[in-house]
Amino acid sequence: MAEIIRPSTVLPANRSLFHVITSDGIDLIGEVSAPLGVSRGAILCLHPLPTAGGMMDSHVFKKAANRLPSMAGITVVRFNSRGTSSEVGQSTGVFDNGGAERLDVEAMLNFCFETLHLTNLWVVGWSCGTDLALRHAKDSRHKGLILLSPPLRTTKDTDLLYWNNDPRPITALVPEFDDYLRPEQARERFSIVPSIKIVATDGAKHLWLGEPFVHKVLSQINSIVTSDAQDLPLEF
């Protein structure tokens, strides 16, 4: 019998912890949540700002790992960037405001492709993680970017212009009441990359608090990764 999806819902998946060593010797800790059956696609999650409490267990990404493998057949890869801790442990190193984190992103993409052998991989950044995606996730092997609440805090116009010459799709989910960049501001800032799709979300705030907004985000991710047209079910 189907059950209502709640904040605490954890659906079946193959879950395993991992360690990845970056090229400068940082030990990144993370978790893979894979479908019990065939994977239809995958996401690599770049979490919000660690100095503001962001980590691999930030609620949207935790719920993605708890639900998407079963509900959508999507493999979810989460990790703590350098100097960041969560319930599973702390990655070594110190936060570098998005600079040395380039090596974290590169190491994780190599892990996804060369160790996990994932296909149809998309990079999903949230808040600070969107800056990491736009600045550093330029590996030609992934399928595109999904940006949640992009603040464009450290992303420069030169970073955006890079994506003008890259054909891969980028979708930015922008909350109506975002603390940093609201839809009209996002359209202006992203205007130099006209191919970026801006999806304004009525009523939402930067942290996507509340199950209706989590459902919207996860449904959008599923639609982009698997091409499913319908939203995820509210019961499963």
Express each pLDDT in 30-46 by its tens digit.
999 999 999 999 999 99
Average pLDDT, the chain: 97
Evaluate if pTM is beyond 0.95. Answer: yes
CATH number of the domain within which 205 lies: 3.40.50.1820
- The tokens describing 191, both together, are 């205007």
Residue 234 belongs to some domain of the structure: no
Tell me, yes or no, whether 103 lies in a domain. Answer: yes
pLDDT at 2: 86
Number of domains in the chain: 1
pLDDT at 72 over 80: yes
Domain membership of residue 43 as a residue range: 14-225
Rounded to a whole number of angstroms, the distance between the first and last alpha carbons of the chain is 8
Mean pLDDT of 47-75: 98
Residue 67 lies in a domain: yes
Q: Is residue 3 part of a domain?
A: no
Is 24 inside a domain boundary? yes
Residue 6 predicted with pLDDT over 90 = yes
pLDDT(142) > 80: yes
| Cα 82 to Cα 22: distance, rounded to the nearest angstrom | 10
Phi-psi region for residue 117, left (φ > 0), alpha (ψ -120 to 50) or beta? Answer: left
List, for residues 157-194, the tens digit of each pLDDT value. Answer: 999 999 999 999 999 999 999 999 999 999 999 999 99
Q: What does the pLDDT look like over 97-131, one tens digit per residue?
A: 999 999 999 999 999 999 999 999 999 999 999 99
Give me the mean pLDDT over the 73-89 stretch. Answer: 98
Closest CA to 43 of 22, 67, 20, 25: 67
User: Is 233 a domain residue?
Assistant: no
In a domain, 4, yes or no: no
Residue 231 lies in a domain: no
